Structure 1
Amino acid sequence: MARGNTRQRIQDVALELFAAQGYEKTSLREIAEHLDVTKAALYYHFKTKEDIIIGIFQDLTRPMDELIAWATEQPRTLEVKEEIIRRYQQSLVGAAPLFRFMQENQAAVRELSIGMTFKERLLELSGLIQEPDFAVIDRVRCVSAIFALHSGMFFMDNVEGDPEEKREAVLEVALDLITQAHSAR
């Protein structure tokens, strides 16, 4: 989808406004005003704020869906699981605006249909890097690897250092957790 098209512009402006003033406090009228379009023009593309968020969510989580589809077809080796972690980190970078929205609007996200589908995706992804016979501590390591990548998206901004170096450090920690879980078998 081209970044310049109307639908994409609506999503970009809406996400900026949702992040700046909150999902609940942002109206469709404000979104239309920021775009300098009529409400009717906005309604042509999206009937509700939830429709906008669902569209953003679908666009930005497509790489995650593709990763899950790819991973499901792969052998369950340590190398594949490490690649899952690497690819997931890349998808998080592309979806950073959506994750910031979700972090800053947790109450609204719980009420939206996207909340559960994201949780389902995370559970599926987590299952792809675990094994049924893993001990509880190794299951925790696998889940923690995923959340290390998530926390790296938000909290490493407050840590001094080169952004690429910090991203690589977060990835290394996540990969270490996966390796530890597999080494215990």
Structure 2
Amino acid sequence: MTDDTPTAPEGRQSGTRQRIQQVALELFAEYGYDKTSLREIAERLGVTKAALYYHFKSKEAIIAAVFEEILEEMDGFIAWTKTQPRTSTARQQIAQRYVESSKGASSVMRLFQENGPAMRELKVGEQMRDRLIDLVNTLTPEHASVPDKLRIRIALFAVQLSRFSMQDVPVEELDAAIVEVVFELLDRVSWE
């Protein structure tokens, strides 16, 4: 029995779902979300469309599954951030945790950036936007100046942009630089 059959044991189904998500992301990156069909995903996987349909009824369901873990991690990060004091040490920890948590999401965020119009129309796009707004609001002091609001937004959005546009830099070196810059921007914000 193979991974792609509907009768596969639960653990193997999970592996199949992950493989479907991975292949779908590859195709979405190659051709775009709108121009990729379930048939093409099934063909790349070497399974029938019915086998794919058993696991996911639509491309949106695949995207929702991909983003589910990211959204859960963001929720945890935002909740943790809300409990942190607004000290320089806490801002350093926020910067480090945000950069660390963004590592696994870089290919998904790239998909989001490259397929913006399509992603914005999906429920998951709205959920992602809402989480990012919540994070920005969590880090923005009530009486923040416009430059401080801009620093916070640049700090957060620069993380994914850097991962996307600086792939020629070794990951460890890039992560250290991102943490440094994010912290510098957050530390310049007036928190009183």
TM-score (norm 2): 0.85
1:124 is aligned to 134
Paired letter, 2:94: I
Distance, in Å, in 2 between the alignment partners of 1:125 and 1:81 is: 13
Distance, in Å, in 2 between the alignment partners of 1:85 and 1:132 is: 20
Q: Could you tell me whether the CA contact under 8 Å between 2:28 and 2:111 is conserved in 1? A: yes
Q: Which consecutive unaligned segments of at least 5 residues does structure 2 have?
A: 1-9
Q: Which contiguous aligned blocks of 4+ residues in structure 1 show a shift greater than 4 angstroms?
A: 1-4
Q: How does 1:79-94 map to 2 (within 5 A)?
A: 79-94=89-104
- Between 71-80 and 147-156, report the one with greater CA deviation: 71-80
Distance, in Å, in 2 between the alignment partners of 1:57 and 1:144 is: 23
Correspondence 1:176 to 2:190: no
Q: State the Cα distance separating 1:121 from its structure 2 match.
A: 0.6
1:74 is aligned to 84
- Between 129-138 and 2-11, report the one with greater CA deviation: 2-11
Paired letter, 1:164: E
Q: Could you tell me whether the CA contact under 8 Å between 2:21 and 2:66 is conserved in 1? A: yes
Q: How does 1:1-185 map to 2 (within 5 A)?
A: 5-157=15-167, 161-182=169-190, 185=192
- Between 145-154 and 78-87, report the one with greater CA deviation: 78-87
The sequence identity of aligned pairs, in percent, is 46
Q: Could you tell me whether the CA contact under 8 Å between 1:142 and 1:177 is conserved in 2? A: yes
Q: Could you tell me whether the CA contact under 8 Å between 1:18 and 1:26 is conserved in 2? A: yes
Q: Secondary structure in 2 aligned to 1:26? A: coil
Paired letter, 2:186: I
Q: Could you tell me whether the CA contact under 8 Å between 1:71 and 1:128 is conserved in 2? A: yes
